[in-house]
Structure 1
Amino acid sequence: MLSRQQDTLFLTKKLDQEPCQDIIFRSKLADIVIPNHLPLTDYVFQRFSGNGDGDSTATCLIDSATGRIFTYANVQINSQRVAVGIHRLGIRQRDTVMLLLPNSPEFAFSFLAVAYLGAVTTTANPLYTQAEIARQANASATKMIITKQCYGISPVLVMELIQRYKVTVVPVAPSVVLAFVKSQETERYDLSSVRMMISGAATLRKELEEAVLPKFPNAIFGQGYGMTESATVAKSLSFAKNLYKTKSGACGTVIRNADMKVVDTITGVSLPRNKSGEICIRGDQLMKGYLNDPEATARTIDNDGWLHTGDIGYVDDDDEIFIVDRLKELIKFKGYQVAPAELEALLISHPYIEDAAVVAMQDEVAGEVPVAFVVSSEGSQVTEDDVTSYICKQVVHYKRVNMVFFTDYIPKAPSGKILRKDLRSRLANGPMNLS
């Protein structure tokens, strides 16, 4: 710790004496012209109306639950009808509408309808409790909630749909990738139509990416990285018109029309390649701010226009970005930083573990220690000692898993992100709530 403090003091003194220039990373691809004179809905449908060259009768959306098919013309008309309906119910420009909806055609119609009116959308998880919905509605000053029955989509159904509709591009969350890897059902389906598989929503480790590729023999795999506040930050160039060779585990390179830098989490100094720090992004695609919360906005976007993502990562020699973990989720063990995602990747590589999550548990001596919640494979007899020994052999001492709690499931958002706060709540509420 003393060495780290001395380094920080030296850097601080140096900054006081000399102005520091940011090390900025840009896309390998040229910037493009993005029109800023069109409303969102006009931009979305411009190819399919008027003199556009798009085919408005082409399929735009398919409802997997019912088989209903919507053309681009259908989507535009339905969105306009919903806009008229909610306008009659009193929604006006800058009013807030909550979408309490699963992934469905109704979500698209409602989102576009709100945009037609110049109103504001706040999206909520359909699995939220009444109290959680009420808190979000109050915070966003919601005037209307649009909702419907929620249904889930299993990995088997996804494979059935790929086979039935000859799906070519498959966006997935890491939890779905994991389900594909662990599933014994993939051999039963023809997945050869898939030519692109894009993972987002959370960190996907190299080992899991490499494990899923044999399941989709004709697919190019790549990752994207972004957040609600910044939209897309990075995307794999394996999807570019002129293909670039990419590495497993990378989440792409910074998008066009944007600047990116990596900063030291203590000093704020921008870092060179292959040095981990907080990723910051700047560009016209950033949010204007958090609704009715200028203090939170100021904490996230600094005076120079940099949005601080809270994600820890680095840029390698080929401009590819690797995410290590969330800044707020790093476990602080006696001054060392432990990334939960690294341990989770090792845990799910165990042949008898279906899923896993790692969080911090308070410890009187170390401050925090890593503990694991594990879903074991059906019929397996894997024990806590088996799991801790498996990890112990592969990591340095401060990354070792301190305790293992076996559970029926890992709580996740619809996007696939692990709901770590739910797991931390279980720890805080005592032994009866750990399984």
Structure 2
Amino acid sequence: NYKGCQSVENFISENVSKDFNIDEYQPVPVNVKDDVALILYSSGTTGLPKGVMLTHLNINTVHAVQVDGRYSLDVNPCIAFHPFCHTAGLSLTIRTVLFGSYVLVMVKFDPHVYLRTIRDYRIESLQLVPAVAQFLAQTNLLEKYDMSSVTSVMCASAPLLKHTEEELRKRFKVPIVKQRYGMTETTIGFMGHSVSGEYPLGSIGSVFPSVSVKIVDIQTGEALGPFETGEICCRTPMVMKGYINNPRATQEMIDVDGWLHTGDVGYYDSCYRFFLVDRIKDLIKCKGLQAQI
């Protein structure tokens, strides 16, 4: 009954073949490990955008982690300004609906509309990317809108600058700005802040369930210990099936033992909290998307 929307019944009736007979319908068998559910595009670590094949197992694993009480995000209405072709926008929307809440969709990010929506709908949890986080940390517009409903702030898609995180904490009066780290090739984040964990400024969190992570020497591939800087590698059921029609790029990304090489450089401390420090390849992140330089 909302303007611009149609009911599920109308959508089905307009898009299903007239020859369809529900009594004869048989569900199509799905191999969750091998059958591709989604193809999303990412620039990856090198070259032009590549089609990332995500299986049903990839997606199921992600949402199994997201309902884990240790890592679950707040189950509240959220504002989606991320494009749905991006893993962050798609996953955020699916997760929110699965948890029985609703999504307020913005056609494009508009500062006044965004802040007015937070105020009018009493939004409690903000799901940000660094560009929007930086805007919120600097803008004077917050003085014009009531932000008292906000109790949680989360940022993903790229590392958050420490001074931006500090300013967001002050402005929204939250104890911590939660961070998550991942990429399209891992379906979405595979590490982040737990609900009860304590994290220093700049930490991207700890490893999620069902995920193995190691830091390796960039030259030798040798696994490194705490506070030693190297490439972040992960192995998990969240790792993509591969790049569509690009086996060479797939082999460069995922080694023979199933470890995905992120191209990001980082380290972990004595409490297994991880930190990003650099990239092996020079990339610019713009609004959650990558551009190589």
Relative to structure 1, is the Cα distance of residues 212 and 280 closer, same or farther in structure 2, using a 3 angstrom cutoff?
A: same
- In 2, distance between residues paired with 1:122 and 1:235? 24
Deviations along 1:277-326, one digit per CA (max 9) or x if unpaired, are 11000111111111121111111111111111111111112211111122
Of 287, 291, 310, the residue aligned with 2:240 is 287
Q: Which residue of 2 aligns with 1:152?
A: 108
Answer yes or no: is 1:246 the counterpart of 2:199. Answer: yes
Deviation by residue 1:315-367 (Cα, 9 ceiling, x = unmatched):
1122111111221018xxxxxxxxxxxxxxxxxxxxxxxxxx7xxxxxxxxxx
* Displacement after TM superposition at 1:78 (Å): 7.3
What fraction of aligned residue pairs are identical, expressed as a percent? 30
Contact 1:251 1:320 in 2 (8 A): yes
Distance 1:207 1:253, change over 3 A: same
Q: Which has the higher helix share?
A: 1
Give the deviation of 1:236 after TM superposition: 0.5
Rounded to whole Å, the distance in 1 between the matches of 2:40 and 2:209 is 27
2:216 to 255, 259, 263: 263
Q: Is the 8 A contact 2:153 2:174 kept in 1?
A: no
Please name the residue that 1:165 is paired with: 121
Indicate if the aligned counterparts of 1:192 and 1:218 stay in contact, CA closer than 8 A: no
- Could you say what secondary structure the match of 1:177 adopts? helix
Alpha-carbon distance in structure 2 between the residues aligned to 1:274 and 1:280: 16
Count of matched residue pairs: 221
Residue 182 in 1 paired to residue 56 in 2?
no
* Aligned partner (choices 4, 12, 26) of residue 81 of structure 1: 12
Amino acid at match of 2:193: S
Paired residue type of 1:81: I
Matched, 1:194 2:150: yes
The answer on whether the counterparts of 2:230 and 2:266 sit within 8 Å (CA) in structure 1 is: yes
Ranges in structure 1 where 5+ consecutive residues have no aligned partner: 1-62, 89-114, 126-131, 141-145, 331-356, 358-410, 425-435
CA contact (8 A) 1:198 1:223 kept: yes
Whichever of the two has the greater Rg, that structure is 1
Could you tell me how far 1:412 is from its partner in structure 2? Answer: 2.5
Instruction: From the superposition, tell whether residues 154 and 78 of structure 1 become closer, same or farther in structure 2 (CA, over 3 Å).
Output: farther
Q: Secondary structure at the match of 2:261?
A: strand
- In the alignment, the residues of structure 2 paired with residue 78 and residue 307 of structure 1 have an alpha-carbon distance, to the nearest angstrom, of 42
Higher relative contact order (CA 8 A, sep 6+): 2
Alignment-derived partner of residue 234 in structure 1: 191
Contact conserved, 1:197 with 1:219, CA < 8 A, in 2? no
Q: 2:266·2:274 contact (CA, 8 Å) conserved in 1?
A: yes
Name the SS for the 1:158 alignment partner: helix
Matched, 1:326 2:200: no
RMSD: 3.6
Deviations 1:357-379 (A, max 9, x none): 7xxxxxxxxxxxxxxxxxxxxxx
Quote how far apart the aligned CAs of 1:154 are.
2.0
